[in-house]
A and B are shown apart, each in its own frame.
Chain A
């Protein structure tokens, strides 16, 4: 099957039921999306498919119909996405393991909601677990990224 990830087409010869996460990580070597729970409850594996946030641990690779963007494709250290910039400026990450998923979730939110309220942020981000407790900085970073993207 054909899978476009971060603008690069790939041919994959795997079972269609293989979760997208493991196709990315073990078949394509794209390790930004993380395995945390395998049930879609922690959000560490979040990627974009056709611009929408998707939990790649629970999405069969055979069901993926659009282009996939992972944290590596959102922006790079040399060319950061505004959300990544905000995450860096506010030093959100502690262990950092959940942050790829947090950033992808926040970027998907800001793509459809330019000026999220506190309640919008709480709503959108509450299903992404962070064991280190970076939530106060995540909140602040989402608002900062929104401002940088011209929402206000």
Chain B
């Protein structure tokens, strides 16, 4: 472990190069001719280098190409490098780096194959390796799928270790001492007599040292930073109003813009009366853009006000216009014509259920469309000058953004410079480039000055690409106090097909997201089947925190709870009995212990359990509720999960708590519905999760026993809704099979 040859098997190697006055360390991608992002003149044959560390006279810079959307990705990437480089925490700068295929994500697609995370067998690991190859070939620089940590865990530490080794080599040469006599600490090489040689003075000389053919990574026992509570690098700025988000960018000569486009997503604008808008104070220009109108003014509010004065005639929606029609489309998809996958098919479900006769159990469940609605509405600053674009915005997909912007401006992708910004949330929203393309269209019409395009909240909420709705038809049977048969049919549109259609691609094979978090659960139910039906896309949809599992955790775990209740089995003990995966069993046992499962609760109180294995992370949650005269209160949530290793306990707990609140809040209250082709919810008075007063105490326990290190941004979400619904059943006897729960349950 931790040696270069281990890495080399995965087709990349640590490389180094000289830059003016310094050293750059990164990854060489073999036999893969892509342009190098920071080293235009590097000549390495067909190998290229993607820098993660730059050391020059100006200081140490760590490149953090995965976007920080609030999940702390910048700090985590920096910590992985800094641990091995031996720089003091905060004793360096960070840069997001330019869009580059070299910053490909080898993890995110690897999970997109029909092998459960519990399967480490030969075929599964080969297929996951293939995911890495595909990701590399298409150079997907993407932030998502809770992949920042697993993708960077070795890469970034190795980059830091190689840089450190070369700095030591340079110091040895300079002092005439042997490398073994030297040590490193806080950004300096220390000689035996205590002299500190700052890294910044060694960068240029280090670039002349041959890169080590092997380095050994620190034993985790020696870690200074990783595994210990860290202060995120952005905490002070975000607590003092000094953090600059994309929406805060200010540039000389900048003008302000907004857009209004057809709220029937993808529909045209037939005509517009813009007389009043053009006459409004501060308006510089009103221009047509794809599907609507752009307004440029001297102040964002004046642009908003003018846009509100537009009188557009919108064309029809290119999809079923009402929520009922959309549901009908999904309901009609449970047929062979739409059958998409059956990755799980154990025993003989049909036989087992017919044998149960009238004792068989069935239920239909529904989950709604959900908007991402990050609190920072979509925005981008764009400057178009002499055929080139400069863009300041937050994005999860820098290279797709570059390509989309180039296409919109009719220029080459190389002529698009992206200055990546931190985002005020995203949850998957910034996997899309619609807002950037609009900002480019506006800026191209008003060249030479930066244009800051900001969406109103109403534009944002009505132009989300939502988490798709889904419906399940579940059947099952119990026998001798045990779950005997479980058939889960799920119909939903394909997120990946919808997303890739917007970049002109279409993914082959079944849509994993339709059944993710359901087909791949580690339970040995004798007759167990999960079937995915690909419902036609109506409203265009997208990835939303935890993607397919966000719906399927609810669909799978509530019906499993129904079966266990019918069997008279204890939901925890029965899951443990059925569990086939050691890490998952440990997680279930841990949540039982943590929550005092089985201990008596006062009258009116109830406890619900749910478990979902998603993104390779088993998570079990117990929710405790009280049925009060004023409604349901969510008192406590206990979470146990297994990620291999917790790299920052503070941020880890924040991500888990945030994921639970995300899952619970939307389950309680949120849905996007469509009428006349338009989202009916336009702002946070109509679409919201939970508020602070409703937030439970959330107790988190991480197990660190698995070998793979995993990310935690998404996995806490899928079990939350199910654990809550199961708790409500336990407290009230009411089984709620449709989200949001508030349609049938009153919350305090």
A residues with CB within 8 A of B: 14-15, 18-19, 21-22, 25-27, 29, 31-39, 41-42, 44, 70-72, 75-77, 80, 84, 87-88, 91-100, 103, 121-123, 125-139
Q: Report if A91-B654 is in contact (Cβ < 8 Å); known contacts: A18-B299, A38-B457, A123-B693.
A: yes
A77 close to B377 (CB less than 8 A)? no
B684 close to A32 (CB less than 8 A)? no
**CB-defined A-B contacts under 8 Å, sample of 17:** A25-B300, A26-B301, A31-B247, A31-B250, A34-B376, A35-B247, A36-B377, A38-B458, A80-B239, A93-B235, A94-B658, A95-B375, A97-B374, A103-B239, A126-B692, A133-B661, A137-B654
Q: Report if A34-B424 is in contact (Cβ < 8 Å); known contacts: A41-B685, A72-B242, A88-B235.
A: yes
- Say if the beta carbon of B236 comes within 8 Å of chain A: yes
B-side contacts of A97, CB under 8 Å: 70, 245, 374-376, 424-425
- Say if the beta carbon of B240 comes within 8 Å of chain A: yes
- Pick from B235, B240, B302, B375: contact of A91, CB below 8 A: B235
Report the bound CA distance from A92 to B236 in whole Å. 10
Report the bound CA distance from A90 to B244 in whole Å. 21
A134 close to B654 (CB less than 8 A)? yes
Report the bound CA distance from A16 to B428 in whole Å. 38
Q: Report if A39-B683 is in contact (Cβ < 8 Å); known contacts: A132-B70, A133-B662.
A: yes
- Say if the beta carbon of B536 comes within 8 Å of chain A: no
- Say if the beta carbon of B708 comes within 8 Å of chain A: no
A42 close to B684 (CB less than 8 A)? yes
Does more than half of chain A's interface fall in helix, strand or loop, or is it mixed?
Answer: loop
Please, what's the 1-or-0 string for B693-708, where 1 marks a CB less than 8 Å from any CB in chain A?
1110110000000000
B456 close to A38 (CB less than 8 A)? yes
- Pick from B301, B650, B661, B693: contact of A19, CB below 8 A: B301
Report the bound CA distance from A25 to B300 in whole Å. 9
A141 to chain B, nearest CB (A): 9
Report the bound CA distance from A70 to B422 in whole Å. 21
A86 to chain B, nearest CB (A): 9
Report the bound CA distance from A104 to B146 in whole Å. 32
- Say if the beta carbon of B181 comes within 8 Å of chain A: no
- Pick from B242, B454, B693: contact of A126, CB below 8 A: B693
A44 close to B375 (CB less than 8 A)? yes
B-side contacts of A129, CB under 8 Å: 375, 684, 688-689, 691
B558 to chain A, nearest CB (A): 22
B residues with CB within 8 A of A: 69-72, 231-232, 234-245, 247-248, 250, 256, 281, 299-302, 304, 373-377, 422-427, 454, 456-458, 650-651, 654-655, 657-662, 665, 683-685, 688-695, 697-698
A8 to chain B, nearest CB (A): 15
A133 close to B425 (CB less than 8 A)? no
Q: Which residue of A lies closest to B256 (CB)?
A: A26
Q: Report if A91-B651 is in contact (Cβ < 8 Å); known contacts: A32-B242, A39-B684, A72-B242.
A: yes
Report the bound CA distance from A30 to B561 in whole Å. 52
- Pick from A42, A70, A126, A137: contact of B375, CB below 8 A: A42
Q: Which residue of A lies closest to B455 (CB)?
A: A35
A-side contacts of B235, CB under 8 Å: 87-88, 91, 93
A133 to chain B, nearest CB (A): 3
B425 close to A131 (CB less than 8 A)? yes
Report the bound CA distance from A15 to B660 in whole Å. 44
A77 to chain B, nearest CB (A): 5
A-side contacts of B662, CB under 8 Å: 131-133
A-side contacts of B422, CB under 8 Å: 95
Report the bound CA distance from A89 to B256 in whole Å. 36
A81 to chain B, nearest CB (A): 9
B-side contacts of A14, CB under 8 Å: 299
B697 close to A91 (CB less than 8 A)? no
Q: Report if A35-B657 is in contact (Cβ < 8 Å); known contacts: A129-B691, A139-B692.
A: no
Report the bound CA distance from A95 to B545 in whole Å. 14
A96 to chain B, nearest CB (A): 3
Q: Which residue of B lies closest to A103 (CB)?
A: B239
Report the bound CA distance from A34 to B690 in whole Å. 20
A135 close to B695 (CB less than 8 A)? yes
B-side contacts of A130, CB under 8 Å: 375, 692
Report the bound CA distance from A3 to B458 in whole Å. 29
Q: Report if A84-B240 is in contact (Cβ < 8 Å); known contacts: A26-B256, A34-B424, A135-B695.
A: yes
Report the bound CA distance from A128 to B299 in whole Å. 26
B-side contacts of A41, CB under 8 Å: 683-685
Q: Which residue of A lies closest to B394 (CB)?
A: A95
B71 close to A94 (CB less than 8 A)? yes
- Pick from B655, B659, B692: contact of A135, CB below 8 A: B692
The 7 closest A-B pairs by CB, nearest first: A32-B241, A95-B70, A97-B424, A133-B661, A96-B238, A71-B241, A133-B658
A89 to chain B, nearest CB (A): 9
- Pick from A18, A32, A127, A136: contact of B691, CB below 8 A: A127
A136 close to B695 (CB less than 8 A)? yes
B-side contacts of A96, CB under 8 Å: 70, 234, 237-239, 243, 424
A29 close to B241 (CB less than 8 A)? no
A132 close to B236 (CB less than 8 A)? no
Report the bound CA distance from A102 to B421 in whole Å. 22
A138 close to B692 (CB less than 8 A)? yes
A-side contacts of B238, CB under 8 Å: 93, 96, 99
B-side contacts of A18, CB under 8 Å: 299, 301-302
B-side contacts of A123, CB under 8 Å: 693
B243 to chain A, nearest CB (A): 6
Report the bound CA distance from A131 to B1 in whole Å. 39
B-side contacts of A127, CB under 8 Å: 691
A34 close to B375 (CB less than 8 A)? yes
Q: Report if A76-B240 is in contact (Cβ < 8 Å); known contacts: A18-B301, A95-B374.
A: yes
Q: Which residue of A lies closest to B231 (CB)?
A: A91
Taking A26-B300, A37-B684 as known contacts, 5 extra A-B pairs with beta carbons closer than 8 A to each other, sorted by chain A number, are A31-B248, A87-B235, A94-B654, A135-B690, A135-B691
A-side contacts of B651, CB under 8 Å: 91
Max count, chain B CB within 10 A of own CB: residue among A22, A88, A122, A132: A132
B-side contacts of A42, CB under 8 Å: 375, 684
Q: Which residue of A lies closest to B663 (CB)?
A: A133
A133 close to B665 (CB less than 8 A)? yes
A27 close to B299 (CB less than 8 A)? yes
Q: Report if A34-B247 is in contact (Cβ < 8 Å); known contacts: A99-B238, A135-B695.
A: yes
B661 close to A95 (CB less than 8 A)? no
A136 close to B659 (CB less than 8 A)? no
A-side contacts of B250, CB under 8 Å: 29, 31
Report the bound CA distance from A77 to B237 in whole Å. 7
Q: Report if A70-B241 is in contact (Cβ < 8 Å); known contacts: A35-B377, A96-B234, A127-B691.
A: yes
B240 close to A71 (CB less than 8 A)? yes
B657 close to A136 (CB less than 8 A)? yes
Max count, chain B CB within 10 A of own CB: residue among A21, A71, A91, A98: A91
A74 to chain B, nearest CB (A): 8
- Pick from A25, A77, A98, A132: contact of B242, CB below 8 A: A77
A-side contacts of B688, CB under 8 Å: 129
A-side contacts of B300, CB under 8 Å: 22, 25-26, 35
B646 to chain A, nearest CB (A): 15
A72 close to B240 (CB less than 8 A)? yes
A-side contacts of B655, CB under 8 Å: 94
Report the bound CA distance from A54 to B737 in whole Å. 41
Report the bound CA distance from A30 to B72 in whole Å. 25
B240 close to A75 (CB less than 8 A)? yes
Max count, chain A CB within 10 A of own CB: residue among B239, B281, B373: B239
A-side contacts of B690, CB under 8 Å: 135
Q: Report if A135-B661 is in contact (Cβ < 8 Å); known contacts: A22-B300, A25-B300, A94-B71.
A: yes
A93 close to B695 (CB less than 8 A)? no
B301 close to A77 (CB less than 8 A)? no
Report the bound CA distance from A34 to B13 in whole Å. 44
Q: Which residue of A lies closest to B71 (CB)?
A: A94
B-side contacts of A71, CB under 8 Å: 240-241
B-side contacts of A84, CB under 8 Å: 239-240
